[in-house]
Amino acid sequence: MNPNDRRTERKGAAALQAVPDALADNRVDLYLQPVVSLPQRRTVFYESFSRLRDDAGRIMMPSEYLGAAEQAGLVSAIDNLLLFRCVQIVRRLAKQDRKVGIFCNISLGSLADEGFFPQFIEFLGENRDTANGLIFELGQAAFEARGSVEARNMAKLADLGFSFSLDKVTDLALDFTDLARSDVKFIKVSGKVLLDQLVEEGGRLTLKTNRDIEAADFADLNRRYGIEVIAEKIESERQVVDILELDVGFGQGNLFGEPRAIREAMLAESDPPAEYIRTTLRRKANGW
């Protein structure tokens, strides 16, 4: 084995140990990034992110730990921890009379997890009053790869009043009927992907993937199916100017605000019982 392979193997082994340790020691932080209305730039949503810390306090990015979490069967535990926190933050914002929604990421694996999902749906059934403020988000590729079990469980969430968002949208040749039927209310397209799709033909500005409509009509076409377009990963004022010409109503990106960690005191209020985390780790260790 060459040195690079050995280093990769050591990093993988370290990550496999770091994930359950971080969960057991409650070293999982919640970050929120604003999603703003355009052109007003008023915060109307937040997207939530989980970040793990290793035993030295270093923040681990998802690219470092998600593979290990999947291998250890702990993605559902991370999703559930995020859910507990998002529900409580939605409640906290409602008490402050702030009608701000939260995008909460959920994995395809969690939607298909027979051990996790019944607890998940039971908890949401007890908190269905938060449905207007909580939107579940998964990537376009995951949505298109969903099977019958995942689709059925998404329908159960929709029956409780919850809706969905697709992020990482790169293919704009969308099946709007399928999206509407699946209660998808938002799609997130990076500003770069959206603007790279523009093409001028015969004096008309259209999209490469749908040349039958004017580019400026794309957002309105989505709205006809009850879907709003959010331009994400916005980094410059130039992008904002161009996106406004496309009648996109919402933006997200570091230009409007970077993800910020929620205070530990607020997290303590919104954490699930420690016994839940311990039980989950025991079950995974025993092959559940």
Whether 191 and 264 share a structural domain: no
**Which residues make Cβ contacts (< 8 Å) with residue 85, sequence separation at least 6?**
30, 48, 262, 267, 270, 271
In a domain, 46, yes or no: yes
Lowest-pLDDT choice from 53-57, 191-195, 202-206, 270-274: 270-274
CB 26 within 8 A of CB 277: yes
Query: Are 278 and 192 contained in the same domain?
Result: no
Higher pLDDT, 94 or 4: 94
Give a yes or no: residue 7 inside a domain.
Answer: no
162 and 42 in a common domain:
yes
Domain assignment present for residue 2? The answer is no
Percent of residues, the chain, with pLDDT higher than 90: 47
State the pLDDT at residue 1. Answer: 52
pTM score: 0.85
pLDDT value at residue 42: 95
Asked if 111 and 235 sit in the same domain, the reply is no
Q: Are residues 160 and 37 in the same domain?
A: yes
CATH of the domain at 76: 3.20.20.450
Could you report the per-residue pLDDT of 65-96, keeping only the tens digit for each? 888 888 877 888 888 888 888 888 888 887 77
- Does 275 reside within a domain? yes
220-233 residue pLDDT tens: 999 999 999 999 99
pLDDT at 159 over 70: yes
Range of the domain at 234: 177-248
Instruction: Tell me: pLDDT of 273 over 50.
Output: no
Cα distance between residue 176 and residue 255, in whole Å: 30
Q: What is the pLDDT of residue 2?
A: 55
Tell me what the mean pLDDT of segment 188-206 comes to. Answer: 88
Residues 262 and 241 in one domain: no
Taking CB atoms within 8 Å and a gap of at least 24, the contacts of 81-84 are: 81/23, 81/28, 81/50, 81/271, 81/272, 81/277, 82/30, 82/48, 82/50, 83/120, 83/123, 83/124, 84/123, 84/270, 84/271, 84/272
In a domain, 9, yes or no: no
For residue 191, being part of any structural domain is answered with yes
Instruction: Let me know whether 232 and 278 are in one domain.
Output: no
64: Cβ–Cβ under 8 A, 6 or more apart, which residues? 15
Q: What percent of the chain has pLDDT over 70?
A: 85
3-state secondary structure of 246: coil
Q: Is 2 helix (H, G, I), strand (E, B) or coil?
A: coil
Is the pLDDT confidence value at 7 over 60? no
Domains of the chain: total: 2
Integer-rounded Cα radius of gyration of the chain: 20
Looking at the structure, do residues 181 and 282 belong to the same domain, yes or no?
Answer: no
Query: Do residues 162 and 187 both lie within one domain?
Result: no
Both 38 and 82 in one domain: the answer is yes
